[in-house]
Amino acid sequence: MKEQLEKIKQEALAALGAAKESVDLEALRVKYLGKKGELTAVLKQMGKLSAEERPVIGQLANEVRERLTAEIETQKKKLEEAKLEARLEAEALDVTIPGKKTALGHQHPMYIALEEIKDIFVGMGFTVLDGPEVELAYYNFDRLNAEEGHPSRDWSDTFYFDKDSRVMLRSQTSPMQVHAMETMELPIRIVAPGRVYRKDEVDATHSPMFHQVEGMVIDKNITMADLKGTLNTVVEQLYGKGTKTRFRPHHFPFTEPSCEMDVQCHKCGGVGCPTCKGEGWIELLGAGMIHPKVLEMSGIDPEVYSGWAFGMGLERTAMRRFKIADLRLIFENDVRFLEQF
């Protein structure tokens, strides 16, 4: 029996040493040490032994059991460590590899100019409004005193959606004046930037889509002096202290009187150069005192309230602000151009 025990021990140790998975270890434990295992089978024959032999074999059997139990534990630990090692290796993360660079963009020059304009007006207590680009001719024309037959309503200038010329892409931001009068409480101070559309051929100063910023003030005792004072302040903030402006009479159906405001050319200081086409002045915006009929149509009593409004071309303002010579650069979105601002 001694040899039998020795043989079991050797066999079991060899098998345990060769085990690759912890499930194999468990199977070996059952095979050798389990209730129906080989060691147990040997011990069951102890009864046949003599009284002298029994304690010797008993002790030996216990030693084998202890040795195998210990070996199973050791092997189990080894396998677990190897497994962890393999996992760590597979999941290795090299923190020294340089990261991927995220290219950070910035605002388009025209929107930089728009932000400046908005900041100036918000600083003076104006509210910024947003409105529809698909507009009713009723708001774009009728409510602005440009009745049926007015030349600005012509099909050759305007993008209409229907045969009856009722729905259109707005040709100016001025319908925002009417939306403000309809929805806001008096007094009103608003600016409304956005896209406008006209059937123009693309060239260095024209595009069928461009941006305007509309501005409007309605309150008691508002006069042309308020219009001039406000716009002069805005121009000085945009183009620097002491920038000269000039107001010329003009005509718009929704303002009376109407004017256009020019800024002295930043290039030549008013002498005349290619930038201002020899004029010394550059046109910046259209403006005027809101026509009493326009106020009346929106339910505002022109005997009590008065107001002024302006419409400024945003591309032109940005071009002047950043000394951009060609309007097309603003819309082409060539990064080599955009990166300069």
Q: Which residues bind ligand PHE (CB under 6 A)?
A: 172, 174, 252, 255, 286-288, 309-311
Q: Which is nearer to ligand PHE, 145 or 264 (CB)?
A: 145
**How many Å apart are CA 176 and CA 241, to the nearest integer?**
30
Q: Are 19 and 77 in contact (CB under 8 A)?
A: no
Which C-beta is closer to ligand PHE: that of 43 or that of 234?
234
Report the nearest approach of ligand PHE to the CB of residue 250 (Å).
8
Q: Are strands 281-290 and 255-264 parallel, antiparallel or unpaired?
A: antiparallel
Q: Which is nearer to ligand PHE, 9 or 170 (CB)?
A: 170
Nearer to ligand PHE, 19 or 214 (CB): 214
Least gap, CB of 118 to ligand PHE (angstroms): 17
Minimum distance, C-beta of residue 179 to ligand PHE, in the bound complex (Å): 14
Nearest CB to ligand PHE, comparing residues 280 and 286: 286
Least Å from the CB of residue 206 to ligand PHE: 13
- What angle is formed at CA 232 by the lines to CA 217 and CA 270, rounded to 5 degrees? 145
Nearest distance in Å: CB 170, ligand PHE: 10
In terms of C-beta density within 10 A (0-12 exposed, 13-18 middle, 19 or more buried), how is residue 135 classed?
Answer: buried
Per-residue tokens: 125:
């207590």
- In terms of CB distance, is 265 or 287 closer to ligand PHE? 287
Decide if 321 contacts 238 (C-beta within 8 A).
yes
Name the residue with the smallest CB distance to ligand PHE.
311
Contacts of 247 (CB under 8 A, 6+ apart): 228, 259, 260, 261, 262
Nearer to ligand PHE, 157 or 326 (CB): 157
Residue from 230, 254, 250 nearest 171 by CA: 254
Q: How far is the CB of 310 from ligand PHE (least distance, A)?
A: 5
Closest CA to 64 of 37, 98, 91: 37
CB closer to ligand PHE out of 80 and 200: 200
Tell me how far, at minimum, the Cβ of 234 lies from ligand PHE, in Å: 14
Least distance to ligand PHE, CB of residue 318, Å: 17
71 CB burial (10 A radius; 0-12, 13-18, 19+):
middle
User: Cβ(281)–Cβ(271) under 8 Å?
Assistant: no
For residues 171 and 169, what is the distance between their CA atoms, to the nearest angstrom? 6
Closest contact distance (angstroms) between CB of 289 and ligand PHE is: 9
Which helix (H) or strand (E) is 142 found in, with range?
none
Give 57 or 300: the residue with its C-beta nearer to ligand PHE: 300
Compute the distance between CA of residue 238 and CA of residue 57 in angstroms, rounded to an integer: 106
The CA distance from 214 to 190, in Å, is 8
